Amino acid sequence: MADKYRIFGAEVSPYSVKVRSYFRYKNLPHEWIVRDSNTMAEYQKYAKLPIIPAVATPGDEALQDSTPIIETVEARVPEPSIHPDNSALRFLSELIEEFGDEWGNKWMFHYRWARDADQVSAAERIVGAMMPDSPAEERAKMAEGIRERMVGRGWVIGSNEQTAAMIEESFKQGVALLEKHLAGRKFLFGGRPSLGDFGLWGQVYNAWTDPTPGAMLKAEFPNTCAWIERMLDPKAEGEFETWSSLEPTLSPFLERDVRLFLKWSDANAKALAAGDEEMSVDLDGQEWKQSVGGPQKYHAKTLREIRKKYSAVSSDEEVRKILADSGCLEWLSS
Ligand X SMILES: N[C@@H](CCC(=O)N[C@@H](CS)C(=O)NCC(=O)O)C(=O)O
**Interacting residues toward ligand X by CB under 6 A:** 13-15, 50-53, 65-67, 101
Strands (E), 70-180: none
Residue 83 beta carbon to ligand X: minimum distance, rounded to whole angstroms: 18
Residue 216 beta carbon to ligand X: minimum distance, rounded to whole angstroms: 21
Closer residue to ligand X, CB minimum distance, 35 or 186: 35
Closer residue to ligand X, CB minimum distance, 149 or 289: 149
Residue 167 beta carbon to ligand X: minimum distance, rounded to whole angstroms: 17
Closer residue to ligand X, CB minimum distance, 69 or 246: 69
Contacts of 215 (CB under 8 A, 6+ apart): none
Closer residue to ligand X, CB minimum distance, 101 or 241: 101
Q: Cα(265)–Cα(259) distance, rounded to whole angstroms?
A: 10
Closer residue to ligand X, CB minimum distance, 153 or 235: 153
Check: CB of residue 64 under 8 Å from CB of residue 13: no
Closer residue to ligand X, CB minimum distance, 93 or 326: 93
Q: Which residues pair with 187 in a beta bridge?
A: 190
Residue 36 beta carbon to ligand X: minimum distance, rounded to whole angstroms: 12
Residue 318 beta carbon to ligand X: minimum distance, rounded to whole angstroms: 29
How far, in whole angstroms, is CA 53 from its chain's centroid?
13
Closer residue to ligand X, CB minimum distance, 150 or 236: 150
Residue 13 beta carbon to ligand X: minimum distance, rounded to whole angstroms: 4
Query: Is the bond into 80 cis (omega within 30 degrees of 0)?
Result: yes
Closer residue to ligand X, CB minimum distance, 47 or 322: 47
Residue 223 beta carbon to ligand X: minimum distance, rounded to whole angstroms: 26
Residue 249 beta carbon to ligand X: minimum distance, rounded to whole angstroms: 27
Residue 327 beta carbon to ligand X: minimum distance, rounded to whole angstroms: 26
The 3-state DSSP composition of the chain as helix, strand, coil percent (nearest 5) reads 65, 10, 30
Strands 54-56 and 62-64: antiparallel
Check: CB of residue 207 under 8 Å from CB of residue 217: yes
Coil, strand or helix at 152 = coil
Check: CB of residue 88 under 8 Å from CB of residue 96: no
**Backbone dihedral region for residue 184 (phi beyond 0: left; psi -120 to 50: alpha; all else: beta):** left
Contacts 24+ apart (CB under 8 A), 210-217: 210/108, 210/111, 210/112, 210/118, 210/121, 210/122, 211/117, 211/118, 211/121, 212/111, 212/114, 212/115, 212/117, 212/118, 213/107, 213/108, 213/111, 213/118, 213/171, 216/172, 216/175, 217/175
Closer residue to ligand X, CB minimum distance, 113 or 240: 113
Coil, strand or helix at 20 = helix
Residue 87 burial (CB count, 10 A): 15
